[in-house]
Amino acid sequence: MKPQPYKFCFGPWNISEGQDPYGPPVRPPQSFEWKLEALKKIGFDAMMFHDDDAVPDIDQKTDAQVRQEARALRRKLSDAGIAAEMVAPRLWFDPRTIDGAYTSNDPKCRAYAIQRSLRCIDVARELGTDLIVLWLAREGTYVRESKNARRCVDYLVEAINRMLAYDRKIRIAIEPKPNEPMDQAYIPTIGHALALAQLTDDPDRVGCLIETAHAILAGLDPADEIDFACAFGKLWSIHLNDQNGLKFDQDKPFGSANLRVAFNQVRALERNGYGRKGEYVCFDVHPFRTTKVEHWLAHLENSRRTFLRLVEKARTFDEKQARALIRDRNYAALDQMVLEHLMGR
Interface residues with ligand XLS (CB under 6 A) are 50, 88, 133, 135, 175, 177, 211, 239, 249, 284
Residues 6+ apart with CB under 8 A from 184: 140, 141, 144, 178
Beta carbons of 193 and 176 less than 8 angstroms apart: yes
| Partner that binds at residue 325, options ligand XLS, Mg ion, none, CB closer than 5 to 8 Å by kind | none
User: Among residues 56, 55, 51, which one has the least CA distance to residue 68?
Assistant: 55
Cβ 295 to Mg ion, closest distance in Å? 22
For residue 250, give the amino acid letter.
Answer: Q
| Partner that binds at residue 249, options ligand XLS, Mg ion, none, CB closer than 5 to 8 Å by kind | ligand XLS
When binding is defined by CB under 5 A, the residue of 284, 287, 300, 310 that contacts Mg ion is 284
Assess 242 for contact with Mg ion (CB under 5 A): no
Cβ 283 to ligand XLS, closest distance in Å? 11
Cβ 85 to ligand XLS, closest distance in Å? 11
DSSP output for 14-64: GS----BTTB--SS----HHHHHHHHHHTT--EEEEEHHHHSTTGGGS-HH
C-alpha–C-alpha distance, residues 253 and 207, integer Å: 25
Of 55 and 325, nearer to ligand XLS (C-beta) is: 55
* CA angle at 227 for the pair 206 and 179, rounded to the nearest 5°: 65
C-alpha–C-alpha distance, residues 289 and 33, integer Å: 23
Of 177 and 267, nearer to ligand XLS (C-beta) is: 177
Of 135 and 274, nearer to ligand XLS (C-beta) is: 135
Q: Spell out the SS3 assignment of 261-273.
A: HHHHHHHHHHHCC
| Partner that binds at residue 88, options ligand XLS, Mg ion, none, CB closer than 5 to 8 Å by kind | ligand XLS
Of 35 and 239, nearer to Mg ion (C-beta) is: 239
Helix H segments across the chain? Answer: 32-41, 51-54, 63-80, 107-127, 149-166, 190-199, 212-217, 222-231, 259-271, 298-315, 319-327, 331-343
Q: How many CB atoms lie within 10 A of CB 151?
A: 11
| Partner that binds at residue 171, options Mg ion, ligand XLS, none, CB closer than 5 to 8 Å by kind | none
| Partner that binds at residue 252, options ligand XLS, Mg ion, none, CB closer than 5 to 8 Å by kind | none
Of 211 and 225, nearer to Mg ion (C-beta) is: 211
| Partner that binds at residue 235, options Mg ion, ligand XLS, none, CB closer than 5 to 8 Å by kind | none
When binding is defined by CB under 5 A, the residue of 96, 119, 239, 286 that contacts Mg ion is 239
Longest dimension (CA), the chain: 66
Q: How many CB atoms lie within 10 A of CB 231?
A: 11
Q: How many CB atoms lie within 10 A of CB 240?
A: 27
* CA angle at 310 for the pair 306 and 315, rounded to the nearest 5°: 155
Name which of residues 209 to 228 contact Mg ion (CB under 5 A): 211
User: Could you tell me whether strands 184-185 and 140-141 are parallel, antiparallel, or unpaired per DSSP bridges?
Assistant: antiparallel
Of 261 and 337, nearer to ligand XLS (C-beta) is: 261
Of 86 and 266, nearer to ligand XLS (C-beta) is: 86
> Which residue number places its CB atom closest to ligand XLS?
135
Residues belonging to the active site: 50, 53
| Partner that binds at residue 313, options Mg ion, ligand XLS, none, CB closer than 5 to 8 Å by kind | none
Q: What is the contact surface with Mg ion in residues (CB under 5 A)?
A: 211, 239, 284
